[in-house]
Amino acid sequence: MMNNMFVLALTSADQRAIDKFSPTLRFFYNLTNSPALANWLLWITLTGLAVLVYKLGFAKKLPLGKSIVIYLFLIIGCLFLTFLAIFLPIAEGLMVAALILIIYKVRLNREKKAGRI
């Protein structure tokens, strides 16, 4: 009786494709060894970073309904960004943007506390 287990082996073409992944997706793929889970982790990362960048740089006080619509479109937009982020460093760009905005907010708060603004 034959066993129905399949052994997955990476061919050289598969390895070349993995080598072309963006660094974040490659990290998630090496961590999980599952392409589907790696893509979902990439989407969650992109969504979290996009929300952080939005909150730090662009968010204003809005009514609850408008905020829900904005975050819904942000989440849907990150689905499309995930396809681009497979081979392009979009997550890394969002990380840099978030870091710059965090530094800016910290310096702004220090200036406000010092009374210079």
Please check whether residue 15 lies inside any domain of the structure: no
Please check whether residue 5 lies inside any domain of the structure: no
Answer whether residue 6 shows pLDDT above 50: no
Please check whether residue 87 lies inside any domain of the structure: yes
Answer whether residue 43 shows pLDDT above 90: yes
Answer whether residue 21 shows pLDDT above 60: yes
Please check whether residue 89 lies inside any domain of the structure: yes
Please check whether residue 100 lies inside any domain of the structure: yes
Each residue's pLDDT tens digit, 54-105:
999 988 888 999 999 999 999 999 999 999 999 999 999 999 999 999 999 9
In order, the DSSP letters of 55-99 are HHHT-----HHHHHHHHHHHHHHHHHHHHHHTTS-HHHHHHHHHH
Cα–Cα distance between 79 and 84 in angstroms, integer? 9
Please check whether residue 2 lies inside any domain of the structure: no
Domain count, the chain: 1
Please check whether residue 25 lies inside any domain of the structure: no
Q: Provide the residue range defining the domain that includes 91.
A: 43-114
Please check whether residue 35 lies inside any domain of the structure: no
